[in-house]
């Protein structure tokens, strides 16, 4: 009844607009809504489950209320097995690093360079089906240096590596989807304010709009409390691999295949990292848009609710963070760019003043085959 009275105070074209349709979704919590966020990302969630993520039941339900977690389920067992396999692979990798004296640069290159794996497997094989054995033994020497090779072990290691690579990319995709959904909620409020700009509206209208804005702001804070660790992990991971590839950019005597791999890999890493930052920063940007509309409220409509709303928009911080260590906004993007440029300048100065072997080994080093 209260909402009906509020809508009566809004011009007809606004009350019947998309904002009103979105507001009506909350009247029935369990209504089937094909435009809900849960339905929108269902395909991404199903893809994640194929690679051992999000082991929940009811993912094909009509809304999020059907989701539930069970320890005794195939999805959970599958996730545990993949997590265990990834952990064992990581432990064996660090053991080999310790044994052979590898650096973290070698470790990062091992994770990135599939081109080099295929090349090594080809050069170390005796031809025929031995190419398969050679590929697995030489590409995953951190595993088959501690256990005897067999085909089923090779397939298992390859699958665990595939799952780990997918998860590495999926984390950023998930953050982008969540950021898009939250930013869109702010855009709905901003669209309403744009439609009523300059109109004489009662105080109860501004009270309701402020309540809706605070609801989205509280949702953002709740999501941040759960996702801030993932944001920090994604940020650090992307920055590390970008730095690693910049380090590799100073390696001389590349052939065409390695050059193509390097530039495509670096381009992909940069696009992915800055896509996450841009979409996450859009939440902060959209949360500040109401300021310009509130500052143009006619004097007859200006009231206590408008004043409080304006203060909340101006001084409130609605954004995703990395465990509260940094806030994701457009200013952070410039900071990241400056870090990358500064790192590259330091690498160039080091390469000019010292032997490049201090930075990294040549990319075309001789290949040591593992039998």
pLDDT at 99 over 80: no
In the structure, what pLDDT confidence band is assigned to residue 43 with cuts at 50, 70 and 90?
Answer: confident
What are the beta bridge partners of residue 68?
A: 57
pLDDT at 226 over 80: yes
The pTM assigned to this predicted structure is 0.78
pLDDT at 329 over 90: yes
Chain segment 311-320, per-residue pLDDT in tens = 999 999 999 9
How many whole angstroms separate alpha carbon 193 and alpha carbon 45? 33
Q: What is the DSSP string of 101-125?
A: T--HHHHHHHHH-HHHHHHHHHHH-
Query: Are the C-beta atoms of residues 361 and 127 closer than 8 Å to each other?
Result: no
Picking from 282, 292, 328, the residue whose alpha carbon sits closest to that of residue 179 is 282
Tell me the mean pLDDT in the region 42-54: 88
Contacts of 3 (CB under 8 A, 6+ apart): 23, 208
In the chain, where are the structural domains located? 31-98, 165-355
How many residues are present in the chain? 371
The per-residue pLDDT for 356 is 46
User: Which residue is listed with tokens 């009270």?
Assistant: 207
pLDDT at 275 over 90: yes
Chain segment 200-221, per-residue pLDDT in tens = 888 899 999 999 999 999 999 9
User: Which residue is listed with tokens 């590929």?
Assistant: 135
The per-residue pLDDT for 291 is 93
Query: Are the C-beta atoms of residues 229 and 323 closer than 8 Å to each other?
Result: yes
Chain segment 122-150, per-residue pLDDT in tens = 556 665 566 777 777 777 777 877 888 88
pLDDT at 3 over 60: no
Contacts of 97 (CB under 8 A, 6+ apart): 103, 106, 107, 142
Q: What is the DSSP string of 122-175?
A: HHH--STTHHHHHHHHHHTHHHHTTS---HHHHHHHHHHHHHHHHHHHHHHHHH
Residue 286 Cα distances to 153, 319, 330, 366, angstroms: 50, 10, 12, 53
How many whole angstroms separate alpha carbon 206 and alpha carbon 256? 62
Residue 320 three-state SS: coil
How many whole angstroms separate alpha carbon 204 and alpha carbon 206? 5
Picking from 122, 131, 365, the residue whose alpha carbon sits closest to that of residue 248 is 365
Chain segment 144-189, per-residue pLDDT in tens = 778 888 888 888 888 888 888 888 889 999 999 999 999 999 999 9
Residue 349 Cα distances to 150, 343, 344, angstroms: 47, 10, 9
How many whole angstroms separate alpha carbon 332 and alpha carbon 323? 15
Tell me the mean pLDDT in the region 22-48: 67
């Amino acid at each position: 009844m209260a909402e009906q009275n509020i809508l009566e105070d809004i011009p007809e074209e606004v009350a019947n607009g998309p904002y009103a349709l979105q507001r009506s979704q909350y009247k029935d919590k369990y209504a089937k809504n094909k435009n809900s966020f849960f339905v929108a990302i269902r395909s991404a969630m199903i893809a994640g489950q194929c690679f051992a993520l999000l082991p929940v039941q009811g993912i094909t339900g009509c809304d999020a209320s059907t989701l539930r977690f069970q320890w005794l389920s195939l999805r959970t067992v599958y996730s545990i097995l993949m997590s265990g396999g990834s952990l064992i692979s990581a432990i064996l990798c660090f053991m080999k690093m310790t044994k052979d004296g590898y650096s973290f640069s070698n470790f990062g290159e091992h994770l990135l360079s599939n081109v080099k794996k295929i090349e090594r497997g080809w050069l170390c094989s005796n031809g025929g089906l031995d190419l398969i054995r050679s590929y697995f033994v030489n590409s995953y020497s951190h595993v088959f240096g501690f256990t005897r090779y067999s085909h089923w072990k090779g397939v298992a290691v390859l699958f665990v590596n595939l799952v780990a690579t997918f998860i590495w990319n999926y984390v950023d995709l998930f953050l982008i989807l969540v950021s898009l959904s939250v930013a869109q909620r702010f855009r709905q409020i901003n669209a309403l304010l744009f439609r009523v700009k300059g109109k004489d509206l009662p105080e109860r209208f501004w009270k309701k709009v402020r309540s809706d804005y605070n609801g989205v702001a509280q949702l953002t804070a709740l999501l941040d409390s759960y996702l801030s660790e993932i944001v920090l992990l994604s940020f650090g991971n992307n920055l590390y691999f970008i730095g690693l590839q910049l380090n590799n950019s100073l390696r001389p005597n590349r052939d065409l295949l390695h050059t193509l791999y390097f530039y495509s890999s670096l381009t992909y890493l940069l696009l992915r990292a800055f896509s996450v930052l841009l979409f996450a920063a859009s939440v902060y940007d959209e949360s500040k848009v109401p300021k310009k509309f509130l500052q143009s409220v006619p004097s007859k409509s200006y009231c206590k609710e408008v004043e409080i709303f304006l203060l909340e928009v101006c001084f409130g911080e609605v954004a995703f963070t990395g465990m509260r260590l940094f806030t994701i906004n457009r200013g952070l993007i410039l900071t990241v760019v400056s870090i990358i440029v500064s790192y590259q300048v330091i690498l160039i100065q080091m390469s000019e003043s010292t032997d490049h072997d201090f930075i990294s080994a040549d990319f075309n080093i001789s290949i040591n085959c593992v039998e």
